[in-house]
């Protein structure tokens, strides 16, 4: 990490920072704080596992930590890659950004969230964070108790220790004690875990609650989403703030080298071209450039039309198999399908939209105007602000559900996942996605595709049902018809059984229905008196 970046954030104290941002970060009140803490820890746990090709085993324990006060100890254990012991104090005890500016789809916000939780815990209960961690290749397990020195913005290690591994364990266990409100937060937390589990069918997730409940989601598949790769930002997607940050965290002596080293699709030729168009000397010290220069550079980059499109390797869609397995685990539906769209871009940011659909089975009945919506952004469930989400608009305005043989309320769940290096969230709450035309279009196409497949299924099902009805409708009369003909022709060498066989043969030949199905119906017929 660069000293400049550290310098920058020393300017405000972590306490100030916290108060400034606690609403945005989700720590406005004890209930929100408890929910947010669970979220931050679970998301880090998943990032430490599935992003590195490890099938997650996540354990969440929430306990009362004080007989009188509403203190809760939240412990989240994962089987992830672990954290090197020399990094642990800074990873949990210093408020700052990552050292190198790269883009990669992660759940957490650059590790900032967990530090907010540490600060919140420290300020409400005074208790330190406890961390137990080990990497796969280590022989020892490391243990830390850390607090943050609020004035100096430094980690204070209260206790540290290590012991020899008795068994082959790797991962991280983090415990935080905070003031919370389980009564008010529990519905939210449970829903969050449920919705997370829906898109992680490859994970074992277990949660122990203060009500002595154990909620378990067992792994149902071993396929995981492709882990995201780190990529450099694409010039189309850069704004002034980001460019400043990139320059500040770079070591290159000239602006030319900064561009070549830190952006995708930019080689020396392109970089020189860009700088000459922007009227900037390629050999200038990037840190000496004025804001005017930087703005011109950005405008040049945005209007330059010879870049390759942004790489999508940084984004990690769930994949069809995962979505289907997840929906199946939750709803045991009669029909399930999913689609992952091809990568697309908006404003220089690559993104992928996925949609999953589940019908029937244990899917609950939807509302009267739309299916049950499960929205996700970068694998994180979006639980609030459904009404203002572009996904909701698409579902209600752009999709003619009648055309897909769906009439609400229906036992229908629709899952939509938008993943991107920069999800276009609406507002600061990050609970809904903004109406960006490119994104809206992809959402519509993804939903239309799964809806079409549902229609295919429903059509086939209806046809099958109609055939069955037809069999019943024709076959149920055979005994009566045979009996009637017997009355008229008995004694003329009439044989009822042969006649029935013939009739079955005729119906089968004319309708293509197997004879055994017809016979089955006939066997069930009782002629009343």
Partner 1 sequence: MSSVDVRARMNAIGVLKEKFKIILDQIQRGEKPTLVMPKRVLSNTIYDEKNKMLLLGPDVLRRSLIDVNEARKFMQTLLMASIIYEALVNNEYPTIRDLYYRGKHSIGYRDVDGKLVHENTWDEQKESDSVIRDLEVFMNVLREEMLILSKEKGKVVGNLVIKSGDDTIDLSKMGHGAYSIEPTPDLVEFKDVDAEYVLVVEKDAVFQQLHRYGFWRKYRAILVTSAGQPDRATRRFVRRLNEELKLPVYVLTDSDPYGFYIYSVFKIGSITLSYESERLATPSARFIGVSMTDVFGDEVFREVLDEVKEVGGFTKTALGKLKKKKPYLSESERRNYVIKAKQRDIERAVELVGYDVADKCVESSELRSKLKKKEGLTGYPWFRTPNWVRELCIFFKTLNKLEIEAMASKGLKFLADTYIPSKIEGGDWID
* Residues forming the site for partner 1 (CB under 8 A): 465, 468-470, 472-474, 476-477, 479-481, 483-485, 487-489, 494, 499, 502-503, 505-507, 509-511, 521, 524-529
* Burial 275-288, CB ≥16 within 10 A → b, else e: beebebeeebebee
CA angle, residues 24, 29, 34, in degrees to nearest 5: 90
Query: If we measure between CA atoms, which residue out of 109, 118, 111 comes closest to residue 154?
Result: 118
Cβ 68 to partner 1 shortest distance, Å = 59
CB 307 within 8 A of CB 234: yes
Nearer to partner 1 (CB atom), residue 167 or residue 523? 523
Cβ 508 to partner 1 shortest distance, Å = 11
Cβ 334 to partner 1 shortest distance, Å = 15
Gap between the Cα atoms of 403 and 393, Å rounded: 18
Nearer to partner 1 (CB atom), residue 28 or residue 506? 506
Residue 263 contacts by C-beta under 8 Å, 6 or more apart in sequence? Answer: 232, 233, 234, 235, 238
Cβ 131 to partner 1 shortest distance, Å = 58
Place of tokens 């030949």: 509
CA angle, residues 312, 357, 419, in degrees to nearest 5: 20
Gap between the Cα atoms of 105 and 314, Å rounded: 6
Nearer to partner 1 (CB atom), residue 136 or residue 476? 476
- Where on the phi/psi map is residue 41: left (φ > 0), alpha (ψ -120 to 50), or beta? alpha
Nearer to partner 1 (CB atom), residue 223 or residue 484? 484
CA angle, residues 34, 192, 51, in degrees to nearest 5: 100
CA angle, residues 93, 95, 98, in degrees to nearest 5: 105
Nearer to partner 1 (CB atom), residue 218 or residue 469? 469
Nearer to partner 1 (CB atom), residue 6 or residue 499? 499
Residue 209: count other Cβ atoms within 10 Å of its Cβ: 17
Cβ 477 to partner 1 shortest distance, Å = 4
Cβ 521 to partner 1 shortest distance, Å = 7
Gap between the Cα atoms of 263 and 309, Å rounded: 12
Nearer to partner 1 (CB atom), residue 136 or residue 483? 483
Q: Collapsing DSSP states into helix, strand and coil, what is residue 81?
A: coil
Nearer to partner 1 (CB atom), residue 152 or residue 476? 476
Residue 7: count other Cβ atoms within 10 Å of its Cβ: 10
Nearer to partner 1 (CB atom), residue 368 or residue 529? 529
Cβ 480 to partner 1 shortest distance, Å = 5
Question: Which DSSP string corresponds to 218-271?
Answer: -------PPPPPPBPPPGGG--HHHHHHHHHH---SSHHHHHHHHSTT--HHHH
Cβ 411 to partner 1 shortest distance, Å = 17
Cβ 460 to partner 1 shortest distance, Å = 15
């Amino acid at each position: 990490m660069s000293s400049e970046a550290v310098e920058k954030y020393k300017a405000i104290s972590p306490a100030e920072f916290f108060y400034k941002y606690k609403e945005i970060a989700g720590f406005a009140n004890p209930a929100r704080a408890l929910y947010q803490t669970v979220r931050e820890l679970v998301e880090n746990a998943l990032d430490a596992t599935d992003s590195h090709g490890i099938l997650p085993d996540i354990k969440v324990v929430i306990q009362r930590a004080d007989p009188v006060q509403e203190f809760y100890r939240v412990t989240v254990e994962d089987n992830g890659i672990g954290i090197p012991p020399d990094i642990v104090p800074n990873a949990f005890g210093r408020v700052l950004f990552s050292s190198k500016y790269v883009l990669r789809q992660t759940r957490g916000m650059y590790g900032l969230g967990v530090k907010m939780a540490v600060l919140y815990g420290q300020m409400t209960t005074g208790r330190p964070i406890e961390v137990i961690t080990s990497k796969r290749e280590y022989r020892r397990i490391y243990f830390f108790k850390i607090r943050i020195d609020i004035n100096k913005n430094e980690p204070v290690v209260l206790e540290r220790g290590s012991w020899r591994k008795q068994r082959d364990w790797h991962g991280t266990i983090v415990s935080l004690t905070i003031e919370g409100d389980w009564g008010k937060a529990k519905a939210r937390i449970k829903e969050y875990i449920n919705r997370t589990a829906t898109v992680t069918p490859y994970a074992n997730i277990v949660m122990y609650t203060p009500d002595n409940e154990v909620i378990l989601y067992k792994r149902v598949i071993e396929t995981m989403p492709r882990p995201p790769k780190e990529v450099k930002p694409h010039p189309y997607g850069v704004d002034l703030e980001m460019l400043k940050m990139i320059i500040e965290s770079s070591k290159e002596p000239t602006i030319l080298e900064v561009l070549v080293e830190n952006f995708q699709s930019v080689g020396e030729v392109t970089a020189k071209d860009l700088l000459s168009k922007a009227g900037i000397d390629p050999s200038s010290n990037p840190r000496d450039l004025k804001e005017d220069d930087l703005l011109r550079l950005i405008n040049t980059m945005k209007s330059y039309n010879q870049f390759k499109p942004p790489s999508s390797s940084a984004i990690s869609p769930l994949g069809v198999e995962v979505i289907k397995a997840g929906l199946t685990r939750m709803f045991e539906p009669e029909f399930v399908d999913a689609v992952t769209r091809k990568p697309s871009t908006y404003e220089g940011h690559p993104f992928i939209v996925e949609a999953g659909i589940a019908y029937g089975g244990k899917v609950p009945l939807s509302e009267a105007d739309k299916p049950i919506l499960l929205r996700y952004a970068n694998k994180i469930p979006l639980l609030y602000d459904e009404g203002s989400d572009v996904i909701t608009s698409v579902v209600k305005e752009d999709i003619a559900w009648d055309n897909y043989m769906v009439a609400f309320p229906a036992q229908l769940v629709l899952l939509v996942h938008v993943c991107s290096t920069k999800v276009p969230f609406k507002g600061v709450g990050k609970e809904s996605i903004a109406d960006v035309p490119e994104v809206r279009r992809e959402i519509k196409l993804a939903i239309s595709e799964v809806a079409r497949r549902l229609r295919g299924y429903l059509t086939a099902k209806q046809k099958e049902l109609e055939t069955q009805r037809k069999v019943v409708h024709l076959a149920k009369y055979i005994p009566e018809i045979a009996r009637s003909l017997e009355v008229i022709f008995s004694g003329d060498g009439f044989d009822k059984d042969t006649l029935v066989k013939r009739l079955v043969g005729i119906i089968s030949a004319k309708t293509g229905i197997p004879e055994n199905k017809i016979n089955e119906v006939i066997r069930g017929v009782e002629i009343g008196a």
